Amino acid sequence: QVQLVESGGGLVQPGGSLRLSCAASGSILSINTMGWYRQAPGKERELVATLTSGIWTNYADSVKGRFAISRDNAKNTVYLQMNSLKPEDTAVYYCNTKLVESVHYKLLEVWGPGTLVTVSS
């Protein structure tokens, strides 16, 4: 069993910053990818940023230059530093990981419950 716990969402004014955290716990052998997706009201879930093998990053065009993804391997935690936030960044942000679990050595994809980010004055 693997779980993701997210934190750091909230209300922020346009131009402000927030940092999201997501910690993975449970029967983890190795983590391939950790990342963030978001879903705004009435829209489909979309990729925000991913970090693969702790090295390769991928960002949505809409957040390039404003958001930064990083990972603490020792803590199995991924962070999303969000700067210069805009009202259109308002969404529920979901943590996602693709990993190998340590009981049956199966590949798993796990989602967090989501954390709400609201950008408004």
CA angle 97, 100, 39 (to 5 degrees): 15
pLDDT at 54: 82
Least Cα distance to 35 among 4, 64, 61, 65 occurs for 4
Mean pLDDT value across residues 19-23: 98
Mean pLDDT value across residues 5-23: 97
Q: Could you give the residue ranges of the DSSP H alpha helices within 28-107?
A: none
Mean pLDDT value across residues 29-38: 96
Digit-coded pLDDT (tens) for 42-70: 999 999 999 998 889 999 999 999 999 99
